[in-house]
Chains A and B, each alone.
Chain A
Amino acid sequence: MQIPIDKLKTMVRGIARTQEIEYSCDDVYQLLDEFTEAVAQGKDVAKLMPLVQQHIEMCPDCREEFEALLRVVRATHPGV
């Protein structure tokens, strides 16, 4: 198994953003509805919920779920 250069760079960027303490997928799932509504409302989530924001940047599965939920919230709760 070889590491293509672009994947290596992605890995190194991930290492650069690594924190000693990070939320797990379960922690993020607990807060994902609240976080997504906050994003839809245009709130500064990087400041309000930085650990959720950081996990979503690091974890592709949680990021996909966040993006899917955001599409739903934006389409069905325009007032949120």
Chain B
Amino acid sequence: MNTRTNAEWLADLRAEANARAMALTDLRAIIATGLPYALSGWLAPSDPQFDALAEDVTQETLVKVLAHLDSFQGRSQLTTWVQKIAVRVALSELRRRRWKDVSLDSLMTDEGEEPMPVTQSNVTPDPARAVEQSEMLAMIQRMIAEELTEKQRIAIVAARINEMPIEQVAQQMGMERNALYKLLHDARVRLKKRMEREGLTPEEVLAAFGSG
């Protein structure tokens, strides 16, 4: 089944009628073989939703493969490229299902006048250390308030604090995933530069709150 070279796969997938149909049948089987591994920890093959999801993913993957065949650059096995597409399609759908009832608004509801206060429940009982920690927290909160845009704060709260997939955050903010990553990257760059200006190193912050 997986004995074609990349060139043979491409020739068959671009061929008419029989050769193409056979190649698609083989790819379908290859995707089906891979999916249980791809979805390990996400959805077990014994789950009643598995078969329907696998069928949808396979179908959508094959459509994408045919549509984007010209973009395959031959830097991996073609089957790995196909599996990559199947993984993206499958995980996007599972993320969508898991997070469909969570809105960004619901994550931001208890945001007070102070943007993103840091919880102090875990701070140390050692008084000297507690002072150091609360000073550092105040500084970090000030940096977040002064350096980041509203959009960046929303994205950080959703993606970094609540661990919502950035794909879902992006969707709810009406952006592409790629653009959301850039927004978060820009936020990190701003905070890093501000920390440098303040003479505060990440190592100092981590040390103040203990390792681990």
**What residues of chain A have their CB less than 8 Å away from a CB belonging to chain B?**
1-16, 18, 20, 22, 24-26, 29, 31-34, 36-37, 58-61, 64-65, 68-69, 71-77, 80
Assess whether A5 is in contact with B119, with CB atoms less than 8 Å apart.
Answer: yes
- On whether the beta carbons of A15 and B191 are closer than 8 Å, the reply is yes
A33-B76, A33-B81, A61-B166 given as contacts; is B181 within 8 A of A25 (CB)? yes
Contact A5/B91 with A34-B75, A80-B77 known, Cβ cut-off 8 Å = no
Is A18 touching B206 in the complex (CB atoms < 8 A)? Answer: no
Name the one of B76, B81, B108, B116 contacting A3, with C-beta atoms under 8 angstroms.
B116
**Minimum distance in angstroms from B182 CB to a CB of chain A:** 6
A72 and B181 within 8 A (CB): no
Does B38 lie at the interface of the complex (its beta carbon under 8 Å from any beta carbon of A)? yes
B116 touching A36, Cβ below 8 Å: no
- Which applies to chain B's interface (DSSP): helix, strand, loop or mixed? helix
Among candidates B87, B117, B156, B178, residue contacting A2 with C-beta atoms closer than 8 Å: B117
Residue on A nearest B211 in the bound complex, by CB: A9
Q: Which residues of A contact B159 (CB under 8 A)?
A: 60
Contacts beyond the supplied A33-B75, A68-B38, A72-B37: 8 A-B pairs with Cβ under 8 Å? A1-B116, A1-B157, A3-B119, A11-B156, A12-B206, A64-B91, A71-B38, A74-B37
Residues in B whose Cβ lies below 8 Å from that of A2: 110, 116-119
Please name the residue on chain A nearest to B159 by beta carbon.
A60
| Closest Cβ–Cβ distance, residue A80 to chain B (whole Å) | 7
Q: Is B80's CB under 8 angstroms from A73's CB?
A: yes
Question: 12 pairs across A/B with beta carbons < 8 Å?
Answer: A4-B161, A5-B118, A15-B191, A18-B192, A24-B181, A31-B75, A33-B81, A34-B76, A37-B80, A65-B88, A69-B80, A71-B38
How many residues on the B side are at the interface (Cβ–Cβ under 8 A)? 59
Nearest residue, chain B, Cβ from A35: B76
CB-based A-B contact count at 8 angstroms: 146
A29 contact set on B, CB distance < 8 A: 84, 88
Q: Collect the chain A residues with CB atoms within 8 Å of residue B160's CB.
A: 7, 10-11, 14
- Chain A: minimal CB distance from B105 (Å): 11
CA A71 to CA B118, docked complex, whole Å: 37
Partner of B188, one of A8, A15, A61: A15
- Chain B: CB-nearest residue to A2: B119
Task: Give the residue of B2, B95, B185 whose beta carbon is less than 8 angstroms from that of A22.
Answer: B185
Neighbour of B76 across the interface among A13, A37, A65, A75, CB < 8 A:
A37
Q: Is B54 an interface residue (CB 8 A)?
A: no
Is B189 close to A, CB under 8 A? yes
Complex contacts, B167 vs chain A, CB 8 Å: 61
